[in-house]
Amino acid sequence: MTVELSMLFWAVVLTFGQVIVAVLLALMQVGLPALAGNRDDVVETAMAGRAKRAHQNMLENLILFAALVLIVQVAGLNNANTALGAQIFVGARLAHAVIYLFGIPWLRTAVWAVSIVGLVMVALPIVMG
């Protein structure tokens, strides 16, 4: 398995872990009856809200990462830079999840930007042809 595909797997594991954390924090905050219902009026705040938003952000970025990794893989464009970009993406997304959970705003944005650098590194061989 290539580094890029391994990193895609770990990105999925991270995303799954984030949903578990978000659910557990929401459960502690609003209780099972609220979560088992339609959740029309349920608003997770503080750490539970941040966990939910971090997970949503990861889902948005996972789609991009998965598409890029699969294109690079199928087209045979993977190289040392795409592998490094994938590793940077996953490492930055892990850091982003923790930093977002603890509510450190500027650092969160900086780490998100690092993850975008990883995405660009994976995308470059596609763009360059």
One DSSP character per residue, the chain reads --HHHHHHHHHHHHHHHHHHHHHHHHHHHH-HHHHHS--SS----HHHHHHHHHHHHHHHHHHHHHHHHHHHHHHT---HHHHHHHHHHHHHHHHHHHHHHHT-HHHHHHHHHHHHHHHHHHHHHHHH-
The model's pTM is 0.94
Q: Does residue 61 carry a pLDDT above 80? A: yes
Q: What is the pLDDT of residue 39?
A: 79
Q: How much is the pLDDT for 87?
A: 98
pLDDT exceeds cutoff 90 at 108:
yes
Q: What is the mean pLDDT of residues 3-31?
A: 96
Q: Does residue 97 surpass a pLDDT of 90?
A: yes
| Per CATH, domain 3-128 is 3.90.226.10 | no
